[in-house]
Chain A
Amino acid sequence: MRIKLNKYLVFQALASLALCFVMVLLVNYSGFLFSLRMANISTGVQGPTLTGYILGEMQLLDPLKFGLLWSFYKAMIGLLICSLGIIFAYYVKNLFLMFLAPFALIFLENFITGVTGLARFSFTTAFVLNRLSPSAMLPKNLLVGISTFIGLTIITQRVLVHHERQND
């Protein structure tokens, strides 16, 4: 059955996003299950100090439920990275650049926020659980990181569209 190219591309993008979401969710939650049910990770005599971290109490008392919630959140972030990848895939003809540009951008963002002392607003901070001190791991800081990444994705899309129109 033949379908229109636009429709095909939309389906393709949606399928990639759904797959990415499910993959990140499952991989993360498997990690939680492994560490809680099988690995018996030692937390020391007094246990970990999670006071002040996002849902710190839930992390400590109900890690399975927290794991599901956090995996869902990470899957959402994976979705954002995937959308950036899809944008590159649709607009960039160079395969190498297409595969590695999202990776390079996140790498650079991590470096720039790190050296400028803005690690609390980094997208990587939003992705890695309890990466920084509790005072830095605030929901608003994570939101700034995510919003910046969404902004970056939109700008990238506009730039690539502009570039494509110029080259046509």
Chain B
Amino acid sequence: MNGKMIKSKVINLFLANKALLSLNFCVLCYVAGSARATAITYHLGLFDYTLLVLVDHYYVLYCLLPIMLVIITKHLRSLSDIEKVRYRNTNQMMRVEIFSFTAWFTFYLFSSLLIVLLIGLPTFKPNMFAGNFGGNSHNEILLLLGEYAAFSKIPIISILVALLYYGFGFTTLTALLSLINNKKGSQDTVSAAVVILVLTFIGFHTSLSEKLPILFLSNYIIFHRGLFINGPPSFLLTVLTGLGIILFALGYRPPTIARNSLLSELTISRKMKQFIFLFISGLILIEYFQLVYEGNSNIRDLAIRFLLGTNTDFQSFIGWIKICLIYFSPLFFVGISISKIKQYQEMPIFMRFESIANLHWNILRQYAAFVLQYAGFIAVFLTILFIFGKNSSPMSVALYESFGIQLTIPHFIGNIFVFIITMLFNLALFLMISQVANETVAFIGIISLSFVNLLVPGIHLFEINPGILIFLEYMRQGVDWLLIKIALMLSVSIGFLIFVRRRIHANH
């Protein structure tokens, strides 16, 4: 049924936008004609010429994008109430809308490709490999073609990738407008389309699109802007954001964990997890904006600065607060959870467990999973930033000057490993103190210990929130103490786990 609907919608899209498509056809022919003279001057082959026409960002921004925005908006608004009620649900409706537009747009793209090839065929010879565009040229066209040639020596691949990226960008746009249309109605869809257009122009003419790549549509549709100008990390972020929007509009939602869900809600609820994810993302964003403000665009520095911490030579109160927030935020939520469990300890769910020890063990597993998820997210994210960042970042240089150690990828991963183990140890410590005193005392105690470490640095054995600075100090002094500390932290954490688990099958 969907196939037939999509087919009829594709035909309707062609028929309903005849005038706009004719206009677009005329402009494309004009662009192809203009590029012909340039291509003859530079002795380009047929596929280089085709690539030159198809990746012309002025044509895309000033002609294709406005026309597509009108077509998409019309396409979404054309749904009558009678048609809407025929769909099984809103998700199916949005899926049909998005798939039909994508199918139509694929036809459109290949028609454009055919037109340009037909215009170029009488003049240019087909070429398998890209020409040599000269590394030192200051000509914009040659530079652009040179970048595509560096990406792939075969221009047909570059053409296909550029077309695929157009498809991705416009599908993202359709998905976004479809979501707005579904939630807010057609009037807001038109307003959103105008805002997107204005933002795209702002992004194209300013450096904002490089600093905040996910906000500007030009990065989603023009391949060379997305990848060559913004760089691989921004490109990855843009593609992931686009895919996220498309999947969300298609009705995909992250799977919910049904098992032990009631216990999860009573320990670390989904809302808490979302909150802490937003919180940590906010911290990363603040750090990123600080870097941008300082004119440093190297994302390796974002990873280093985020986990920098303090040491004897660098005693910063704000740095200490930041590292405390990173290390102790999960403990804050664990504390809330312990308090909540005490408050509702007579709930029937708690009585379903074999024994108190069994209940404690299950709760502990929830906490450990939460802390590991949190630490894992930070670890993966920062490691990616570090790997994709440039080698000679200002922070790496500063650290090398201070410690005489080059912070390489293995060093950084080692630091991340220490971070994860320390997070687990902090959890064990927090739970142990909570059992002896209470969770508030435990939290204040841990913060106080960390504060004492800030005031009296150098006692590394008691560091419960070490940053990169402490890690490098360990490396400078020799790794023996670090290994002893890791062994101690692991033995305390594992010992605590064994202690809690030992009586889970006891009958009381």
Contact = CB atoms under 8 A, between A and B. Distances in A.
B321 A96 contact: no
A97 B339 contact: yes
Residue of A96, A110, A111 with most chain B CB atoms under a 10 A cut-off: A96
A108 B322 CA distance: 9
Interface string B308-339: 00000000011001101100000010011011
Given A94-B343, A96-B339, A100-B440, A111 B332 contact: no
A5 interface: no
A114 interface: yes
Contacts of A99: 440
Contacts of A112: 286
B124 to A, nearest CB: 56
A115 B443 contact: no
Interface string A105-129: 0011011101110000000000000
A167 to B, nearest CB: 13
A99 B332 CA distance: 11
Contacts of B444: 100
A97 B343 contact: no
Contacts of A96: 335-336, 338-339, 439-440, 443
A118 to B, nearest CB: 12
B290 interface: yes
B318 A115 contact: yes
Contacts of A111: 318, 321-322, 325
A100 B322 contact: no
B339 A95 contact: yes
Count class of interface residues, chain B: 20 to 34
Contacts of A58: none
Say what secondary structure dominates the interface of chain B. helix
Contact of A115 (B290, B342, B440): B290
B287 to A, nearest CB: 8
B270 interface: no
Interface string A89-102: 00001111101100
Contacts of B287: 115
Given A100-B440, A100-B443, A104-B332, A94 B339 contact: yes
Interface string B437-462: 00110011000000000000000000
Interface string A73-86: 00000000000000
Nearest to A114: B318
B340 interface: yes
A98 to B, nearest CB: 8
Contacts of A94: 336, 339-340, 343
A100 B334 CA distance: 13
Nearest to B318: A114
Interface in B330-369: 332, 335-336, 338-340, 342-343
Nearest to A107: B321
Given A100-B335, A115-B290, A95 B318 contact: no
A95 B440 contact: yes
A15 to B, nearest CB: 22
Contacts of B332: 100, 104
Interface in B3-58: none
B44 to A, nearest CB: 51
Contacts of A100: 332, 335, 440, 443-444
Given A94-B343, A100-B443, A115-B286, A110 B321 contact: yes
Interface in A24-74: none
Contacts of B338: 96
A87 B163 CA distance: 58
Residue of A100, A104, A110, A114 with most chain B CB atoms under a 10 A cut-off: A100
Interface in B410-443: 439-440, 443
Contacts of B342: 95
Contacts of A93: 343
Contacts of A97: 336, 339
A112 B322 CA distance: 10
A61 to B, nearest CB: 31
Interface in B49-88: none
A85 to B, nearest CB: 13
A108 B326 CA distance: 12
A139 to B, nearest CB: 24
A29 B343 CA distance: 40
A62 B138 CA distance: 71
Contacts of B286: 112, 115-116
A115 B343 CA distance: 37
Residue of B286, B317, B318, B325 with most chain A CB atoms under a 10 A cut-off: B318
Contacts of B321: 107, 110-111, 114
B354 to A, nearest CB: 27
A136 to B, nearest CB: 15
Nearest to A110: B321
A163 to B, nearest CB: 12
Contacts of A108: 325
A124 B321 CA distance: 13
Interface string B271-293: 00000000000000011001000
A123 to B, nearest CB: 14
Nearest to A95: B339
A20 to B, nearest CB: 18
Contacts of B339: 94-97
Residue of A108, A111, A114 with most chain B CB atoms under a 10 A cut-off: A111
Nearest to B317: A114
Given A94-B343, A96-B440, A100-B335, 6 more contacts: A95-B440, A97-B339, A107-B324, A110-B318, A111-B318, A114-B321
Nearest 9 CB-CB pairings of A with B: A96-B339, A114-B318, A96-B335, A111-B321, A94-B339, A99-B440, A95-B339, A96-B439, A97-B336
22 contacts: A93-B343, A94-B339, A95-B339, A95-B342, A95-B440, A96-B339, A96-B443, A97-B339, A99-B440, A100-B440, A100-B443, A100-B444, A107-B324, A107-B325, A110-B318, A111-B321, A111-B322, A114-B318, A114-B321, A115-B286, A115-B318, A115-B322
